[in-house]
Chain A
Amino acid sequence: MRLNATVNGDPVSIEVAADARLLDVLRETLGLHGAKEGCAAGECGACTVLLDGLAVNACLVPATRAQNRDVRTVEGLARNGVLDALQRQFVASGAIQCGYCTPGMLMSATALLARVPRPTRAEIAAAIAGNLCRCTGYAAIIDAIETVATHQSASHGAD
């Protein structure tokens, strides 16, 4: 069937199988390999992308679900080749080691901060509970998200 969707701000119109996973369409048809497959069962979160702003596991979502909707992947975070605040802070905080969980973590964090601009550390941990990491022990990742939230809230005059 024909899938019409917006992916990282650009309209796409492609042919997809009715039972194709969104992850396969992103990675294979659209060449967006940022979302990773770590378990194919919605347990590790490495394939997390945003569907109309909500974090979802692209390995469990039918590609057809993206019809006329907005998909955002890690490739869509940077603007004009400049990493966004979360990406930069992940780099600076040491939140990235092997990097395989990073795209999914970034998308879960993006969804969280859109909904809860100033989360507590416990809320951050809960938001990334579906994103497994074997390298960092999560602390640097939570630090990075907390740092961005603090700066963004401050720059928007919120507290």
Chain B
Amino acid sequence: MARLRVDQTVLGSAYFEDYHRSVSRYKYVGRNHPVSDAVGKAGGDLVFGSDLQLPGMVHAALLLSPHAHARALRIDSTRAREIPGVLGVYTHEDAPPGRYCRYRILPGQSGCVDDEPLFASTARFAGDRIAAVVATTAAIARAAVRSIAVEYAALPSVLTIDAALAADAPRVHPDGNLLHEFAIDVGTVDGHGESGETVEIDTTVTTQMLHHAALEPHLCVADYDSSGQLTIWSPCQSVYGARTVVADLLGLPYHRVRVIKVPMGGSFGGKQEFILEPVTAYLAMRTRRPVSLILDRDECIRATTVRPTQRSRVRSRFHPDGRWASLEVDTVLAAGAYAGSSPDYTEAMAHKLTRLYRVGRYRHHGRVAYTTTPVAGGMRGWGAPEIATCAEIHLDRAARRLTLDPVELRLRNLVDPGDIDPTSGRSVGEAWVRECLTRGAAAFDWARRVALEPGQGRWRRAVGVACGAHKNGMLSEAFPESTTMSLKMNEDGTLDLNAALHEVGAGSAVTLQTIIAEALDVSPDRISTREADSKVSPFDFGCFGSRMTYVGGASALALAATLRARLIEAAASLLGLPSERLRAVDGHVRPIDADTPALDYGAIVQRARLRDGVEISVTQTYRGTSNPGAYSVQFAEVEVDTLTGLVRVSDYLSVVDIGRAINRQMVEGQCRGAVQAGIGSALCEEVALDEAGRPQSGGFKNYHLVNAVDMPRVEVLLVEHGGDDGPYGAKSVGEIAFVPTAAAIVNAVNRALGTELARLPLTPERILAALESLAAPDVAIGARNACA
């Protein structure tokens, strides 16, 4: 079969017209820009957190509970303290008594539960912090940790959501295991009512605990100096949040805590919450030495944060023509040992499907429970991938029942631009998801490929599709989206942007440079950015919630516009011309009628400062006023080996409603990286627990990331209509690009095999077991009835 490329003959000319329009209209926007620190990364001299060396720096290591639930009766650190080079051993016995919420950004923030101690006296998961050792080298610290003897009294573990919610369940925390519960009921049944002619579909889908697997392990460096200043160097996603959590826990005033964001070797949400900052800061205060704490891979897997495991029952009624009459979702999610972000995370799941489809009446019931398992936390997509996986597997089953093409069924229900999301009352904005689906289907040759038989031999091949929705920033009833930035022009016309940037490796810094460059018509390399530093950066919440481009970018654009106005005003004064007759072009302010010479930016700054004492710099706060939908539609082709259960993803197309790509190369990189992670979540990634609740060990030997050999070629198709309030029409990409991936692959596998697999990941074991039950007809029919 000839491979179909995304080219003009398949796509028609519309895509290319869009593309050329965007690249020709803009000088810098829509082109390719390396991440701002790419050269240092290529040269190997960029200093990551693990490369930091401070004078007198010492090293910490953690003792983590091997038990899922146990009381530490006695902690004997005598031997550890005797090891030469050990500076101290710290446990709950001498730590501050307070508890904190690792997810908190601000004091008084709703949805935060302060339930986590610095050191546990009762371990609530296998990985809970029992003690820390500080020593002159990391090897000595680790050796000392191994020599600490802890006597534990086992407590009953609570390893699953069902066990946690059982009537007589052992309590993980004193107030019970049900951490949060909510219900949403919006919209009305479309058409003739819920019963009558409608077809009911009922599915239950389970998604698994995942490790973020940023290549850089979690780490933190902290120093507490003799003036009472605490400084923390952390590859985090919110310096102000880290400041809040650490200062409140350790009883320090906010101006005495400085958090500096250092280069980050990937996060994917794993470094969004504050896991190592509190303990490292505490150790620095106790030892009065700079302390470096670096986890190993196994510790990262079990003792930082994981994507939560959740199960959603999805029940729908469809009209016979495929239109949705009603949708009801019941979600249960395991928070793990501490609340973290899980209450908000679960609520987020209830605000995705109604941005994507018109579903008639929508009801969503959610419950979050404590379990004695690794702590759940934010991860790329924040509930959107989970609910998309559940709903899109559900939709494929519906398509089979209704004998509709999966693409057709989705087309009958997708939102259109300007639709109102009934759960938020806000517009979905420029929602071009329908176009993503139709253009993608054409580019992927869906209609032909979906009609092909999977084959009857050892290998079966089929295609699958899934849609997903996410957001652009945090704006909601509960969150007033805003950010503050400063931009200063220097006397040579270069610019310094001061914003609390948290570059996660996705190019947010160069995105802002590009936006400002376009607005002021200067080269992006004449604009410097700096990473967040709570001492000097204007306030920002942090880098999460798909807000960097849509909110941060819009802020940068507004900032540049204000600065341009100042510049023109200053030039007008210098030239003695009215501002309306001047414009900023190519690094100069020129009169429109061009009979007076232009002034270059640097000259304006110099002369304005010398002559008029005028400063060309701006600090302003941008407030978001919209939160349109972000959309992606993805198409997968898989080949399944029916003898071994191994799946190969053989072809892939990712379509994203991007609004406008600011940095084409990085947008495509985000899309392809998301597919790498999505294939893993569909097929092979899982933080598995043993019967005692211990997470698997063995690092990447047992936690399988898709490598270069197993990656399919991934085509990326961007739908760019602009609009909304993003800079130059841009919308978010990093999270949405991951949202539908797992579902597209699961749907392809189910189509290839005739199975109804709905528990992720689709391991070879589960695939062969499903094939076995298909081969035994009685069992298979029973299973189908149970699902229907």
Contact = CB atoms under 8 A, between A and B. Distances in A.
Interface residues of B, number: 56
Nearest to B51: A33
B215 A140 contact: no
Contacts of B558: none
Nearest to A97: B505
B764 interface: no
A39 B35 CA distance: 25
Interface string A56-84: 00000000000000000111011000010
A74 B671 CA distance: 28
Contact of B669 (A34, A44, A88, A136): A136
Interface string A130-145: 1111111111111000
Interface stretch (B36-44, B512-520, B599-607): B36-44
Contacts of B676: 133-134, 136-138
B296 interface: yes
Contact of B672 (A37, A106, A128, A137): A137
Nearest to B265: A100
Given A75-B44, A125-B711, A135-B505, A92 B34 contact: yes
B35 A96 contact: yes
A39 B266 CA distance: 14
Nearest to A104: B215
Contacts of A138: 672, 676, 707-708, 711
Contacts of B297: 38-41, 44
B324 to A, nearest CB: 33
A38 B217 contact: yes
Interface string A108-147: 0000000000000010111011111111111111100000
A125 B708 contact: yes
Interface stretch (B72-80, B169-177, B311-319, B697-705): B697-705
B37 A94 contact: no
Given A98-B504, A99-B505, A138-B708, A90 B216 contact: no
B167 interface: no
B669 A98 contact: no
A44 B665 contact: no
A114 to B, nearest CB: 18
Interface string A38-52: 111101101000000
Interface in B308-351: none
A101 interface: yes
B47 interface: yes
B506 interface: yes
A54 interface: no
Contact of B266 (A94, A98, A125): A98
Nearest to A126: B709
B699 A39 contact: yes
B357 interface: no
A112 to B, nearest CB: 12
Contact of A137 (B38, B42, B506, B673): B673
A98 B505 contact: yes
Highest count of chain B CB atoms <10 Å: which of A32, A90, A133: A133
Contacts of B707: 128-130, 132, 138
Given A75-B44, A135-B669, A36 B216 contact: yes
A97 to B, nearest CB: 4
B50 A74 contact: no
A136 B668 CA distance: 9
Contacts of B48: 33, 36, 100
B644 interface: no
A125 B713 CA distance: 12
A98 B672 contact: no
Interface string B110-133: 000000000000000000000000
Contacts of B214: 98, 100, 134
A14 to B, nearest CB: 17
A119 B71 CA distance: 58
Contacts of A141: 708
Nearest to A82: B43
Contact of B215 (A34, A44, A125, A126): A44
B505 A34 contact: no
B700 A91 contact: no
Nearest to A131: B708
B215 A75 contact: no
A136 B602 CA distance: 38
Given A33-B47, A134-B268, A100 B215 contact: yes
Nearest to A27: B51
Interface in B427-481: none
B264 interface: yes
Contacts of A33: 44, 47-48, 50-51
Given A94-B665, A97-B505, A134 B43 contact: no
Nearest to B297: A39
A73 B47 CA distance: 16
A134 to B, nearest CB: 5
A8 B50 CA distance: 22
A99 B35 contact: yes
A138 B712 CA distance: 10
Contacts of A73: 44
B666 interface: yes
Given A41-B700, A98-B505, A134 B35 contact: no
A99 B263 contact: yes
A125 B51 CA distance: 29
Interface string B650-690: 00000000000000011011011111110000000000000
A134 B677 contact: yes
B714 interface: yes
B109 interface: no
A101 B216 CA distance: 9
Contacts of B35: 96-97, 99
Contacts of B161: none
Given A46-B215, A139-B714, A125 B44 contact: no
B708 A142 contact: yes
A65 B675 CA distance: 39
Nearest to A88: B42
B32 interface: yes
Contacts of A101: 215
A100 B674 CA distance: 17
A38 B705 CA distance: 13
B507 interface: yes
A83 B264 contact: no
B711 A137 contact: yes
B45 interface: yes
Given A36-B265, A139-B713, A87 B42 contact: yes
A137 B504 contact: no
Nearest to A76: B44
A40 B666 CA distance: 29
Given A97-B505, A98-B504, A134-B213, A83 B42 contact: yes
A39 to B, nearest CB: 4
B216 A106 contact: no
A44 B296 CA distance: 13
A133 B265 CA distance: 10
Interface string B18-40: 00000000000000101101111
Given A96-B35, A100-B216, A125-B711, A83 B506 contact: no
Contact of B39 (A37, A83, A97): A83
B41 A96 contact: yes
Chain B CB within 10 Å — which of A74, A83, A137 has the most?
A137
14 contacts: A40-B296, A41-B297, A44-B297, A46-B215, A90-B38, A98-B504, A99-B38, A99-B46, A129-B709, A133-B673, A134-B266, A136-B673, A137-B673, A139-B669
Interface of A: 27, 32-41, 43-44, 46, 73-75, 77-78, 83, 87-88, 90-94, 96-103, 106, 122, 124-126, 128-142
Given A94-B669, A98-B505, 8 more contacts: A32-B44, A40-B297, A40-B699, A94-B34, A97-B666, A128-B707, A135-B673, A140-B669
Closest 4 CB pairs of A and B: A34-B44, A98-B505, A137-B672, A100-B265
